Amino acid sequence: MSTSSTLRVALAQTCPLNAKLFYPTGEEDPFETLRANLKDCADYVKRAKEGGAEVVCFAEYYLQGILNEGRQVSSPFYLVIEAHDQYLSLPSRFMEECIADLARKYEIAITGTIVHGTSTSLPSIPEVNPFAEEPDDATKKWSQYFQQIQSKMSNTDHLTLLNEAFFYDATGKRRGTYCKKNLWHPER
C-alpha cells in the first residue's frame, strides 16, 4: 500500500543588511540592522504561510549578515574595532526567541542558521531582549554593555563564533541543531 504525502517548502532568499561600523557611544542603536533583518524574516514567514508552505528555509547568514573580522572595512582611515561586526552574535539567543515566536504565530516550521558568540572573558550579556516590542530600555542596557566591553572587543580572542543551523517546528519548539564544522575561509 502506498501513501502519498506532499510537504510544501518555501525557500527564502533574503538580502540581509550588514552591520555598520560600530563605535559604541551610547547614542546609536547597535541592533538597527538586526531589527530590519528580523522584520524581513517575519515578512517572508508570513508570505510562506499564506502560500501554503509548511516549512520555510532561510539561507545562511540571513539574520546577521556575514560576521567576520574586517570584512566591511572600506576605508583605511577608519579606526576600526577589529571585531566590529561580531558583536551581532552576542544577542543570538534573543534572535532565536523571535524565530520561535514566528513559528508559533504562523504555525510553520522554520530552518536557517544563526551565529552564536560565546566568550569566557567578557562580562555576561544583558538579560534583556533587545528585540522586544518596545526596545528602548533594552537598547540602552546593550549600548552600555558594548561601551563596557569595547576595549576587550578589539581582541578577537575574546569571542568565539559558532555557526549553527536550526530547525523549529510549527509549535515553536526547537527540534534540532547542527554546529557547522566545515568552515568557510573567513570563519576559520
Residue-wise pLDDT for 77-102, tens only, equals 333 334 456 778 888 999 999 999 99
Q: What is the mean pLDDT of the chain?
A: 80
Per-residue pLDDT at 110: 98
The 10 Å Cβ neighbour count of residue 15 is 10
Per-residue pLDDT at 131: 87
Which CATH topology does 9-187 take? Nitrilase/N-carbamoyl-D-aminoacid amidohydrolase (3.60.110)
Per-residue pLDDT at 174: 97
* pTM, rounded to two decimals: 0.83
> Domain locations in the chain?
9-187
Q: Which of 75-79, 146-150, 160-164, 166-170 has the highest mean pLDDT?
A: 166-170
Q: Which residue reads 551581532 in cell numbers?
A: 88
Quote the longest CA-to-CA distance of the chain: 70
Give the torsion through C-alpha atoms of 136, 141, 147, 148, to 10 deg: 180
Nearest 5°: the CA angle 38, 112, 155 is 75
Nearest 5°: the CA angle 33, 39, 66 is 40
